[in-house]
Amino acid sequence: MTRAGVYLSLPFCPSHCAYCSNPAARFSAEKGEAYLLRLLRELETAAPDWAAHTVDTVYIGGGTPTLFAPEQIRRLLEGVARHLNLAADAEITSEANPESVTPTSTAGLIAAGVNRISIGAQSFQERHLLALGRIHTPERVATAVQIARDAGFSNLSLDLIFSLPDQRPEEWADDLSRLIDLRPDHVSAYGLAIENGTPLWVQVQTGKVRVPDAEGYDALYSAAVERLAAAGYRRYEVSNFARPGFECRHNLGYWRGGDYLGLGAGAASHRDGYRYGQMDDVNAYLKQPPGFQPSTHAERLTPRQRAHERAIFGLRTAEGIDLNDIQAATGIDLAAIAAVELERLVASGLITGDGERFRPTPRGFLFGDSVGAALAHLPDE
Ligand code: SF4
């Protein structure tokens, strides 16, 4: 059976962060329950198409999934187990924000079958948390980690964001120290993206705040790589670091070009080169009639597009790409089509390889976008 990941979108938040373009809705018990029922219906509708897949990862994201009652998360995962072929050793992750990590919510997640928790710490500086519109304090992150560990989570990830408005290098150094002190198993460190139309975007556009320039960004990123490596975290993707054996299997599935079923508002799916997404708006999603078709803006990827995507995503990971594997999966011989581009990337020190297998160099991790851009426009066969 082919493997697949399942993404369950629970796009509700108690408030909206200043940098976030996710159209997360305000949570209410009534709306949450209606949404859950709709999502379970979508799962039921989609399941027959996924009968030949083994689901070995499930990711509950949002939003803030821990706004839902533990009993609702249990029903959701029971639905996945009932309608899909869920592997016995599946990695099942739930995102959580620090303020909603409580003994009740974490015990409920464990009882429902969740075995990995990803907590959005984002910063340990009060002023940055306030500017980002986060509603937790730096101290609450440590409390949340302790609560999750006490509940039994032995696979715990923390998210941090860098390249924040007016961020000083010493603040970032302090963030990394405080994160390492909490001994997470996995770390995601993302550079802040200024998304069009967000309150933060307006502040940047009007000159109210300034984000670090490219040089500043690189320095902050390099500091993270160095500090995390020294603390035993291996970079296995541009923004992701893990202690050995704690790499996120769900995300590896995306980067390897695998199949995934996304359910809920804003979720995307991919199967056999066919990609489709669910509408973003929660209210519109809730209004869909019973038996609705779960796909909007569907797109059939050509073999060439699939090969490109596998190369671009693969070259953001430490394991890199194997051109024979890509050819076996897509029929496209990148060794022939992209020989010049790959050679140029090797010559410029961004990737290293032997003609068949390629992976990013430390410089290539830093300039991952340049690697992607070089492969984005390949000549015709
Ligand atoms: S908690 Fe996450 S999804 Fe919700 S508004 Fe903040 S950044 Fe967006």
pLDDT computed for residue 228 by the predictor: 98
Give the C-alpha separation, 298 to 49, whole Å.
Answer: 15
* Whole-Å CA distances, 13 to 53, 63, 157, 184: 32, 5, 20, 24
| CA 101 – ligand 1 centroid, Å | 15
Q: What is the mean pLDDT of residues 201-210?
A: 92
**Minimum mean pLDDT among 30-44, 215-229, 362-376: which range?**
362-376
Ligand 1 atom showing the smallest separation from residue 19 Cα: 7
Q: What is the mean pLDDT of residues 178-203?
A: 95
| CA 271 – ligand 1 centroid, Å | 28
| CA 24 – ligand 1 centroid, Å | 7
Please give the domain boundaries of the chain with CATH numbers for all domains.
2-254 (3.20.20.70), 303-376 (1.10.10.920)
- Reported pTM: 0.94
Give the C-alpha separation, 47 to 81, whole Å.
Answer: 11
Name the token pair of 300: 């059939």
Ligand 1: which of 19, 20, 140 to mutate, most ligand atoms within 8 Å of CB? 20
Give the C-alpha separation, 1 to 31, whole Å.
Answer: 37
Closest residue by CA, ligand 1 atom 6? 17
Ligand 1 atom showing the smallest separation from residue 62 Cα: 3
Ligand 1 atom showing the smallest separation from residue 134 Cα: 6
Q: What are the tens digits of pLDDT across the range 263-321?
A: 999 999 999 888 988 888 999 899 887 656 656 668 888 888 889 889 999 999 999 99
**Ranges of H-type helices in the chain:** 29-46, 70-83, 103-112, 126-132, 138-151, 169-181, 199-205, 214-230, 249-255, 282-286, 303-314, 323-330, 334-337, 339-347, 362-366, 368-376
Q: What are the tens digits of pLDDT across the range 18-74?
A: 898 887 888 899 999 999 999 999 999 999 999 999 999 999 998 899 999 999 999
Is residue 378 scored above 70 in pLDDT?
no
| CA 279 – ligand 1 centroid, Å | 18
Closest residue by CA, ligand 1 atom 2? 63
Ligand 1 neighbours by CB, cut-off 6 Å: 13, 16-17, 20, 22, 24, 62-64, 97
Q: What are the tens digits of pLDDT across the range 334-365?
A: 988 888 889 999 999 999 998 899 999 999 99
What is the band of 379 on the pLDDT scale with cuts at 50, 70, 90?
Answer: low
| CA 134 – ligand 1 centroid, Å | 8
| CA 20 – ligand 1 centroid, Å | 6
Q: What are the tens digits of pLDDT across the range 101-133?
A: 999 999 999 999 999 999 999 999 999 999 999
Q: Residue 35 in 3-state DSSP? A: helix
pLDDT computed for residue 101 by the predictor: 95
